[in-house]
A and B are shown apart, each in its own frame.
Chain A
Amino acid sequence: MSSFRKSVSGLLLSLVASAALADATLLNASYDVARDVYKDFNPMFQKYWKAKAGESLELKQSHGGSTKQVRAVADGLEADVVTMNQANDIEFLADKGLVAKDWAKKFPNNASPYTSAMVFIVRKGNPKAIKDWSDVAAPGVQMIIPHPKNTGNGRNTYLSAWAWALKQPGGNDQKAQEFLGKLLKNAPLFAAGGRDATTTFMQRKMGDVLITFESEAEMIAKEFGKGEFEVIYPSLTMQTEFPVALVEKVVDKKGTRKQAQAYLEYLWSKEGQENAAQNYLRPRDPELLKKYAAQFPAVKTFTVDEVFGGANKAFAVHFKDGGSFDQIYVQK
């Protein structure tokens, strides 16, 4: 597997790099597919910081499943900053006292420097004419998604469909749950993770629609060719956030608060925002969003805070044991 080889060579590189002298070292604990974003971002920040503060910084990355990463930080992985793809993972660190309670207000935009949206990927020509969530739930359509209970990607899809059903005429929680029941019947399997779902859909040719991050569509184009699929934007979908936070305990201990703060702030700089856009993540900067308009078509989105009253609450109601997801499968 090339990603495995990449991570091994990345590890070796970082070992070699740590031999070089640096004034300070920052560790960024991040989610799995953020590799590309920070691979480009880190050298940019190093250059910026060298010019601004005259310090040469060493930047290390640690990538893994979002929840696994925060658990590692809670268990003592000395990360200066966490850059995640789910707010409830950072909430967990806040509960443990590692991250400020008001972390979401420490940076602009809910502390999320860029966003993405959940979109439909359908086969070329859209043979099943899938335009919106109701089409995905129609009989005879197969939907490929990662496990809604165990993956952030799957949870976002679940909540997107729920929010859409709520907003339909006469929509309420009960109807939304019924709709999700119909929708999930169309899932012949739950993939182990986002990339596994992509492989199942693109390579094994299973299913009629894959639901994933907008940014993932570009990865698919690189890997499988642009002509193989189409991206469909449903009438309402989730704006997914990628929150960042300072790990207060670690930066105080290591004396790296200044550098870590600057590192995260730099994500909102023109360069940082442009880098996000180039990695197919929607920048917060309205000018850049306009510049990359062809890449990011206008889409009606909602945030978890608006519809579900926060990531933690959404998780508790829908994905905890006995939550709405479990109720759909265990109707007793």
Chain B
Amino acid sequence: MAAKTHRVLPGFGLALGYTLVYLSLLILLPLGGMILKASELGFGQIVDIALSERSLAAFRVTFGASLIAALINGFFGLIVAWILVRYPFPGKRFVDALVDLPFALPTAVAGITLATLYAGNGWLGRYIEPLGFKVAYTPWGIVVALTFITLPFVVRTLQPVIEDIETEVEEAAASLGASRWQTFVKVIFPAIFPALLTGFALAFARAVGEYGSVIFIAGNLPLISEITPLLIISKLEQYDVLGATALAVVMLGLSFILLLAVNVLQWWTANRHKNNEPLEVTAARAGGAA
């Protein structure tokens, strides 16, 4: 009698079975097939493909641009999320809905629009190119496209978490003598940091795989502005399915390692702050330190 744990939802076994089948069908099966296909090549061959000069350059561009885009969104996305949750202003619902647009827009349309905007005669390009900033058809164009595509990931991950922090917490910190900066660094930031990391990781992962928007603004010059997904398409053009899967597997491996690192970081920060004290106590401590 005693061993039976109580669960709120009935049918746990069924739900778990369903979850496993669902995930297997959707994720494990295609990924497994891909790895199986790639394993037709020897390990040496996969390494050769991954270490060719063009592949290396493409990996650098892809992961570098994705990282920068995710960092930009980590900063500005946080601000957007904060404003959207904390401050009432006219047209707020409209702005809130705008955030989702990059999700809904076909990526090719996004790429073409951005290229038109940032090209030498575009609305933005005509002002920034004379200043010496070329965006369209350079690696910076890739960063712009990826930043656009991944904005919603950070904002939408942060919003509910920020909503959970009650303004009383800030007030408590303030009343205990914490400065604004201290309130942010010691009270608010630790609470939203794990969600920020999640948003960052989602944005990064999405950016690494992005193809449709990037090819229209990148310029696609070998060794300079070719992304890995373009090389995969290039291999498919050659009917080299094996080579394409090899690149895909390497890309997947690199992404997995990076996402794992983010998860570990998240786990570590969660543990560090898991003294299980309510936020009010943290606020009090922050105030006390002042």
List residues of A whose CB falls within 8 A of some B CB.
Answer: 1, 4, 67, 71, 92, 147, 149-150, 187-192, 196, 199-200, 203-206, 315, 319-321, 326, 329-330, 332
Contacts and interface: CB of A to CB of B under 8 A. Distances in A.
Nearest to B239: A92
Nearest to B137: A189
B234 A149 contact: yes
Contacts, number: 74
Interface stretch (B10-18, B112-120, B189-197, B251-259): B112-120
A330 B222 contact: yes
Given A149-B237, A321-B52, 12 more contacts: A4-B106, A147-B220, A147-B234, A150-B230, A189-B219, A190-B220, A190-B221, A204-B136, A206-B120, A319-B237, A330-B222, A330-B223
B221 A187 contact: yes
12 contacts: A67-B239, A71-B236, A150-B230, A189-B220, A191-B220, A192-B215, A200-B115, A200-B119, A204-B136, A321-B235, A321-B238, A330-B54
A324 to B, nearest CB: 13
Contacts of B152: none
A204 B115 contact: yes
Interface of B: 52-54, 106, 109, 112, 115-116, 119-122, 136-137, 215-216, 218-223, 225, 230, 233-240, 243
A150 B234 contact: yes
Contacts of A92: 239
Contacts of B215: 192
A200 to B, nearest CB: 8
Nearest to A151: B237
A320 B238 contact: yes
Contacts of A205: 119-121
Contacts of B240: 320-321
Given A149-B234, A150-B230, A321-B243, A326 B54 contact: yes
Contact of B219 (A1, A188, A319): A188
Contacts of A200: 115, 119
A147 B106 CA distance: 22
A199 to B, nearest CB: 7
A51 B121 CA distance: 55
A64 B121 CA distance: 30
A203 B221 contact: no
Given A150-B230, A204-B119, A330 B220 contact: no
B114 to A, nearest CB: 12
What 4 pairs between A and B have smallest CB-CB spacing? A189-B219, A204-B119, A189-B137, A329-B222
A188 B233 CA distance: 21
Given A196-B216, A321-B238, A206 B119 contact: yes
